[in-house]
Structure 1
Amino acid sequence: MTSATTRPVRIGLQIQPQHADYAKIRQVAAEAEELGADILFNWDHFYPLFGEPEGKHFECWTMLGAWAEATSRVEIGALVTCNSYRNPELLADMARTVDNISDGRLILGIGSGWFEKDYDEYGYEFGTAGGRLDNLAESLPRIESRLAKLNPQPVRKIPVLIGGGGEKKTLKLVAKHADIWHGFGDPEVVSRKVKILDQHCADVGRDPSEIERSVGVGDGDPEVLGTQLRELGVSLFTANAGGPDFDLGPLRRWIEWRDKQNA
């Protein structure tokens, strides 16, 4: 068990911005905040990932700006921003702006990108997975540099969340740049990734307990899955809800479990 287990349990919800009107998405965000979610995420795509591929869909960062005004307590962010879609300096400025609008509640979630349809339809070069990761490695220091120059500054040091489980490149970037690592998989997979991340931290001289571990839990059983992941040092557990119905039942169960864990 890592020292990261001393962190309190937090529960996130990824509201998948697909197959629904914005009024419904806004209503779900308000309800999730009222239920007690710690973080609300959307995602950075231009088309639905599930269901009707040409169905209703909304853009990520415009929505985060609206959430910054529509919510008052929860942290907000993308799970995750695609590095390929915006100049790094612009992204830093967008993040700083949303952080100020929200009074310091933004998490800058970022990854290298993977959904080829987004790239093809919007005119971005898809390239290779390795090339996209190399671009992310180049962008992260530029984002950090621009954030330090902006006036006014962010309300807080914006936490950087890096999503992905690539063992040679992605987890090394997490060790160098991230405040939060977000991954997927069953406890066996997560156990392997955590050990590799800890080694990357050792290689760059960083205390691994500085990085919060986050895992997408879907509709998994908190008593079973949550307990197993908690033993691996995971403290942020993110459920999801997709349109048009946005079932918040899993979120309620994870919040109930969180409250018992943190009591």
Structure 2
Amino acid sequence: MVGVLSGARWGDFVRPVRIGVQLAPQRADYVDIRRAAAEVEALGADAVFTWDHFFPLGKDAGGKHFEGWTVLAGVAEQTARVGLGVLVSCNSYRNPELLADMARTVDHISGGRVILGVGAGFKEREFVEYGYEFPAAGRRVAELGEALPRIKKRLGVLNPAPVGRMPILIAGGGEQKMLRVVAEHADIWNTFAEGEDLVRKLGLLKKYCGEIGRDPASIEYSVHVGGDPREVGPPLRELGVSLFTTSTSGPDYDLDTARQWIAWRDEQNS
């Protein structure tokens, strides 16, 4: 195992546990999403996320669905405290400068609460039906690596600028290319990896950080979770994870898992 809380430190401080809730904007009316977002904030979650898909995931691919960034703008207007993000924006769907401008705008709507999540995308149907080329995975990752400096540059020249320093979250676990992009550009790394797979990827991420002279502890680790937090949480916490995100879909957004993880967070941070 990687050293205890080795990725959860910022300077001399151990990062507190944070809980995100991803409200998938599928199979629901907007009023359902709005109601769920208000409840998530009232529960005390640290972040509300949408996603960047154009169709529902799962068997009912023809069900109701809304675009993630415009949903996020609405959630930004109705909430006051929680962090906000798209988990994650597909780099191929928007010009990098446009994505930076969109994120900056929602950041102002929210008063500085945006987490800018980006990834390489993976759903071929979405690319094809919306008129985007669907290149091989390696090229998509390479294009993400090329886009991130452009995003950062645009964030630096927009008028007005983002409210504060907007953290960049990168999702993906490709061990030869994606983790190098994470090492160079991410404030937060988001992954679905678990167990020995996660241990191996963390080791590689630290290796790549060392190659470019970056402190790997400057990157926050983020995972998607479910189940009992008292069983699932401690092993991940030992590996340095500090941002734990549950996911739920409409039309009836079930927040029971989120409640359990928020209660566990409070125990861990007390």
Q: Do residues 215 (structure 1) and 223 (structure 2) align?
A: yes
Partner of 2:103, secondary structure, is: helix
> Which runs of structure 1 show a deviation greater than 4 angstroms over 4 or more consecutive aligned residues?
none
Distance 2:76 2:194 in 1: 32
- For residue 23 of structure 1, give the secondary structure of its aligned residue in structure 2: helix
2:41 to 20, 33, 37: 33
CA distance in 1, matches of 2:232, 2:35: 29
Mapping for residues 68-217 of structure 1, pairs under 5 Å: 68-217=76-225
Identity %: 59
**Secondary structure in structure 2 of the residue aligned to 1:235:** strand
Quote the offset at 1:99 in angstroms: 0.6
2:241 corresponds, among 229, 234, 241, to 234
Distance in 2 separating the partners of 1:154 and 1:179: 16
TM-superposed deviation, 1:243: 1.2
Provide the C-alpha distance between the structure 2 equivalents of 1:61 and 1:30, rounded to a whole number of angstroms: 17
For structure 1, the residue ranges without an aligned partner over 5 or more in a row are none
In the aligned structure 1, how far is the partner of 2:64 from the partner of 2:139? 30
TM score, norm. by length of structure 2: 0.95
Structure 1 counterpart SS, 2:59: coil
Counterparts of 2:268 and 2:195 in 1: how far apart (Å)? 18
SS of 1:41's equivalent in the other structure is: strand
Question: 1:187, 1:225 within 8 Å by CA — same for their partners in 2?
Answer: no
CA contact (8 A) 1:11 1:237 kept: yes
Q: CA deviation at 1:75?
A: 0.3
SS in 1 for 2:56: coil
Deviations 1:58-104 (A, max 9, x none): 00111111111011000000110000000000111111111111110
Q: Does 1:4 align with 2:3?
A: no
Question: CA offsets per residue over residues 162-181 of structure 1, 9 Å max, x none?
Answer: 00111111111111111000
How far does the alpha carbon of each residue in 1:2-24 deviate from its partner, in whole angstroms, 9 at most, with x for none? 15251000000111110000000
- Deviations along 1:138-190, whole A, 9 cap, x unmatched? 10000011111111110011100000111111111111111000001323221
Unaligned runs of 5+ residues in structure 2 are: none
Classify the secondary structure of the residue corresponding to 1:215: strand
SS at match of 1:15: strand
CA distance in 2 between counterparts of 1:192 and 1:165 reads 10
1:19 corresponds in structure 2 to 27
Higher RCO, Cα 8 Å, sep 6+: 2
Following superposition, the deviation at residue 126 of structure 1 comes to 0.6
TM-score using structure 1 length: 0.98
